[in-house]
Amino acid sequence: MTRWYEDIAIDEPFPLGSHTFSQDEIIRFATLYDPQYFHIDPQAARHSHFGGLIASGWHTVSVGHRKMVDALFAEENRLREEGLEPGVSGPSPGVNSMEFKVPVRPGDTVTYELVVTDKRASNSIPGWGLLFNRLTALNQRGELVYRAEIVGFSKRRDYRMPTKLRLLQALTKVPVIGALLQRGT
Amino acid sequence: MPNPITQDRRHFEDLAVGEVIDLGHTTVTRDMILTFAREFDPLPFHLDEKAAKASLLGGLASSGWQTGALSLRMLVDSFLGTVASAGGLGFSNLKWKNPVMVGDTIGGTVTIAELRRSSSHPQWGIMTLDFDVRNQKGQPVLTMRLANLIETRSAAA
């Protein structure tokens, strides 16, 4: 899905759309994953310094991830409609930083945006590249809800496996040699 | 005015760097993985066994965000719900070390790595927590450093 590693532009803003958080879904998520009183109990939450119920940061981030996945699918469809073969995104190895700024309250609308700030070939997984993604989430007043630096895998279209690696991979498919090679690693 | 919800809980002054919190355990079922993935991470390798086998994950695995959310839930049950927590500030160096597969049981520890008073808001302390979450084979699945606000009993340093 989405573009190939080679086609991903650095610093191009990629709008991911918006989501409005209802009180019910805030409580539903937090009851499962972050049942602190200011995320699940509107009455008790008044005593917190937030002065009322707020969404778990993990909830706003999970929704941000969903928006990104939806955007990847939309990009895949767009490329197919143009008769192009889309690229392949892989799982994420991690998040360098995540800063929660302004809390999300029931009825707030959060707008998400992704920018790829850098990319490089993966050292550990041949044929894949690493994307350094910055995700920002703003509320309806333009206040920063969170900012994240997330790393993602993306498949390289133009990758050619070095002859040595290709030979090794071919040899692992020969039963006896393959077993020997497996034992050796 | 003391917060009636948190007044009987442990506060900033009651915590010490080096304290280790046992997270207990959670077993991750196929249903849990599919329910979370449908709402937040509908990528083929979190929804479909065949696509998962062909992916880098090698089988149906939980969304990394779900692994994090389940780790957070274990922390709330074992610790954050017993202290005067005032919300998360964020986290850094989150690493998904190994995928969490259907039927895996995850658990581990969280260690208080740092405690300092907020200079701008002396009624709060900032505690830094290091997560070490592992599967039933002892393999690491998630590490991260979380920063969380905690109420102080007295704003005087």
The 10s digit of each residue's pLDDT in A35-48 is 999 999 999 999 99
Question: What average pLDDT does this structure show over A63-75?
Answer: 94
CA-closest candidate to residue A152, choices A75, A72, A78: A72
Res B63 pLDDT > 60: yes
Residue A184 in this model has a pLDDT that exceeds 70: no
Is the domain spanning A5-159 CATH 3.30.460.10? The answer is: no
Between A160 and A69, the higher pLDDT residue: A69
- Residue B108's φ and ψ, nearest 5 degrees, are 150, -150
Q: List residues in chain A touching B: CB distance below 8 A.
A: 32-38, 44, 47-50, 54, 56-58, 61-63, 65-66, 69, 89-100, 103, 125, 128, 146, 153
Interface test with B, best of A19, A21, A22, A32 (most B CBs within 10 A): A32
How confident is the model at residue A183, as a pLDDT?
63
Record: contact B90-A97, CB cut-off 8 A: yes
Q: Which of B157, B146, B75 has its CA nearest to residue B116?
A: B157
Higher pLDDT, A183 or B114: B114
For A52, other C-beta atoms within 10 Å of its C-beta total: 14
| Chain A residue numbers touching B99 (CB-CB < 8 A) | 91
Interchain contact, A125 vs B70, CB within 8 Å: no
* Sign of the CA dihedral running B42, A128, A118, A81: negative
Residue with tokens 């895998």: A153
Q: Is the dihedral of CA A172, A177, A178, A180 positive or negative?
A: negative
- Taking the C-alpha atoms of residue A89 and residue A131, their distance in angstroms, rounded to an integer, is 10
**What was the ipTM of the complex prediction?**
0.95
Q: Which of A112-126, A167-181, B76-90 has the highest mean pLDDT?
A: B76-90
In chain A, alpha helices (H): 23-33, 37-40, 42-45, 57-81, 163-172, 175-184
Identify the closest residue of chain A to B97 by CA–CA distance. A93
- Which pLDDT value is given to residue B66? 97
pLDDT on residue A185? 45
Contacts of A63 in chain B (CB under 8 A): 40
Q: What is the pTM of this model?
A: 0.90
**pLDDT, tens digit, for every residue of A109-153?**
999 999 999 999 998 888 999 999 999 999 999 999 999 999 999
Average pLDDT, chain A: 91
Which residue on chain B is closest to A1 by alpha carbon?
B43
Closest-CA distance, B68 to chain A, in angstroms, reads 8
Q: Testing the interface with B: which of A21, A29, A36 to mutate, by most B Cβ within 10 A?
A: A36
In the predicted model, what is the mean pLDDT of residues A76-87?
Answer: 92
CA of A137 vs chain B CAs: smallest distance (Å): 14
C-alpha–C-alpha distance, residues A127 and A161, integer Å: 7
pLDDT score recorded for residue A163: 78
- Asked if A130 and A151 touch (Cβ cutoff 8 Å), the reply is yes
Long-range CB pairs of B113-117 (<8 Å, 24+ gap) are B113/B17, B113/B145, B114/B17, B115/B12, B115/B15, B115/B16, B115/B17, B117/B12, B117/B152, B117/B157
Residue of B73, B76, B95 with shortest CB distance to A94:
B95
Q: For chain A, what percent of residues have pLDDT higher than 70?
A: 94
The pLDDT, as a whole number, for residue B51 is 86
pLDDT of residue A41: 98
Residue B57 has a pLDDT of 80
Question: Is pLDDT larger for residue B1 or for residue B83?
Answer: B83
Q: Which of B5, B41, B95, B144 to mutate to test the interface with A (most CBs of A within 10 A)?
A: B5
Residue owning tokens 């149906």: B60
Higher-scoring residue by pLDDT: B146, B48 = B146
**Mean pLDDT of all residues in B31-54:** 92
Distance between CA atoms of residues A117 and A134, nearest Å: 7
Radius of gyration (C-alpha) of chain B in whole angstroms: 18
Percent of chain B with pLDDT over 70: 98
Q: pLDDT of B7-18, one tens digit each?
A: 999 999 999 999
Q: Give the number of residues written for chain B.
A: 157
Distance CA(A92)–CA(A101), nearest Å, equals 23
Between residues B47 and A181, the one the model is more confident about: B47
Beta strands in B2-155 (DSSP E): 20-27, 85-96, 105-117, 124-134, 140-151
Q: What is the pLDDT of residue B54?
A: 84
Q: Would the pLDDT of B47 be above 70?
A: yes
CATH 3.40.1010.10 fits B12-151, yes or no: no
Q: Which helix (H) or strand (E) holds B51?
A: helix B49-54
Task: Give the whole-angstrom CA distance, residue B108 versus residue B106.
Answer: 7
Please tell me the distance in Å from A4's CA to the nearest CA on chain B. Answer: 16
